[in-house]
Structure 1
Amino acid sequence: MTKRIAVLIDGENLSADLSEAILRRAKALGDPFLRRVYGNVALMPGWSKQAEFTLVHSGSGKNSADVLLAIDAMELAGGRLVEGFVLASSDGDFTHIATRLREKGLDVLGMGAAKTPPAFRHACSAFYVMESKAAPPPPKPAPKPTSTAPATKGPEELDLHIRAQIAANSRQGRGMKIVDLSLAMRTKHNVTISALPEKRWRTYLAARPALYDLDPKGPDAFVRFHPAGFGASAKNGAAQ
């Protein structure tokens, strides 16, 4: 004899696009003659389009859908009207009701998302993980910048300016003092290092070892550029 199965769904917790998967699993257990979806109908418009299910409007009270589902489950179990349940929710609050139903000798198939708490999963006779295929909401557009400050030069253009300054001010192949480079970049190219993420010229230059070679720290530290690091464009720069 085919088992009579009650399918009780937390409609505020699961998307209506899972209805087919829920019903298919329920039919594998027996005859899902009773199929109810609980929740505030205003919050689950997708379920109202599922003709195979009956909507039970819970109103807008906190946890009202959970309470109605639990009451119906215990009434059905007490009246011996069903021989098994499908509890579809990812909410751990259904752990207790699943436990009580199993104590009455009834099979309980739990169904929910991967985030479902282990306690609810283990309280069921078996648990099936589902994932909604509904498209996630589109990301919010990034706010437009409101600053009127001039845009910072891109790294490639900035490095070409740095190379040109070092080449023009190199002292007998030693390169250029970092403090002098800072002044030259500010006066000739309107570039202030505090406007860049690195905040300090030594930090900026040291982060690009393929382009620059630095002396140890000190007020008279020099920086040199590596022609190979700039590729073919370095041929246009003056020798260090």
Structure 2
Amino acid sequence: MTTTPSTARLAVLIDADNTSPKHVSALLEELATYGVATVKRAYGDWTTTQLGGWKAQLNRHAIVPVQQFAYTTGKNSTDSALIIDAMDLLYSGNLDAFALVSSDSDFTRLATRLRESGKTVYGLGLRKTPQSLVAACDTFIYLEVLGEDRAESPEAEDADPAATLPNLQSLLSRAVNATSDDDGWAHLGAIGSYLRSADSSFDPRLYGAAKLITLVQAQGYLTTTGSGTAVRVGLKGRVTSTNAAAKKAPAKKTAKTAQSKG
């Protein structure tokens, strides 16, 4: 049976050592648009005071805490526990996708391994997340753009310089050119797919827009036509006017009618 995004079964695996509990509500709300979180686990050493703020969120969202003692100083045992659980869940065959919540590049190989097995992988982390992990996921969502975290936060100051946003005009222009028909028009859905394929972390919210259509319509070098699911986008000055095309069609029909009468 084919699963749709809204019915896909997700495993949400949270690296609590590297994730603030303040992001939990927003990230689970975001993931609800991709499927149903049938597994929710948070990994860390719950005997330490550093994770004390997590208790309320664990109870509120029915997240199962997985205890992992730090046996050796400088070694992250939490990573190993999460990776082992992820592989066990993979082989259970009961899941369609995995959501890895961490800003740690140690999960890069796990993400690629899950994708090699045909599973969709969503990554969620801070802007400082290394590009290796971002690229390893089908979709990577920055926690700073979710919910109340859209406001400037101290964590944003620690962002990796490599995480600087790509030039938007260049990005959108390439997307339109790559997906447009001969008349210069490209379907909005195709543009969105191209952008996600080119950069798994692309998100209109990073540029201050709630949706892709809002972002596109705010660009002076782009023009749009249609509505709903039929929106098309083109570069100004490089598209065939829809009005001109509409006027040409009846003329051809009239010519054919005249020939049939003759």
Normalising by structure 2, we get a TM-score of 0.50
Q: Aligned-pair distance for 1:85?
A: 0.6
CA contact (8 A) 1:95 1:120 kept: yes
Q: Aligned-pair distance for 1:7?
A: 0.1
Residue type of the partner of 1:48?
K
2:56 is aligned with 1:49? yes
1:198-233 Cα shifts (integer Å, max 9, x gaps):
xxxxxxxxxxxxxxxxxxxxxxxxxxxxxxxxxxxx
2:81 is aligned with 1:68? yes
Give the % identical residues. 40
1:152-182 Cα shifts (integer Å, max 9, x gaps):
xxxxxxxxxxxxxxxxxxxxxxxxxxxxxxx
CA contact (8 A) 1:48 1:55 kept: no
2:88 is aligned with 1:78? no
Q: Aligned-pair distance for 1:26?
A: 1.6
2:135 is aligned with 1:122? yes
User: Whole-Å Cα distance in 2 between the matches of residues 25 and 67 of structure 1?
Assistant: 26
CA contact (8 A) 1:17 1:134 kept: no
Report the secondary structure of 1:108's partner residue.
Answer: strand
Residue type of the partner of 2:84?
I
Tell me which residue corresponds to 1:7.
12
Moved over 3 A (4+): 132-136
User: Whole-Å Cα distance in 2 between the matches of residues 20 and 70 of structure 1?
Assistant: 23
Tell me which residue corresponds to 2:41.
36
Q: 1:8 to 1:134 in 2, by over 3 A?
A: farther
Normalising by structure 1, we get a TM-score of 0.54
Between structure 1 and structure 2, the one with the greater Rg is 1
1:85-120 Cα shifts (integer Å, max 9, x gaps):
100000000000000000000000000000000000
2:21 is aligned with 1:26? no
CA RMSD of aligned residues (A): 1.9
Q: Aligned-pair distance for 1:33?
A: 1.3
Report the secondary structure of 1:45's partner residue.
Answer: helix
User: Whole-Å Cα distance in 2 between the matches of residues 38 and 134 of structure 1?
Assistant: 27
CA contact (8 A) 1:47 1:55 kept: no
User: Whole-Å Cα distance in 2 between the matches of residues 25 and 74 of structure 1?
Assistant: 24
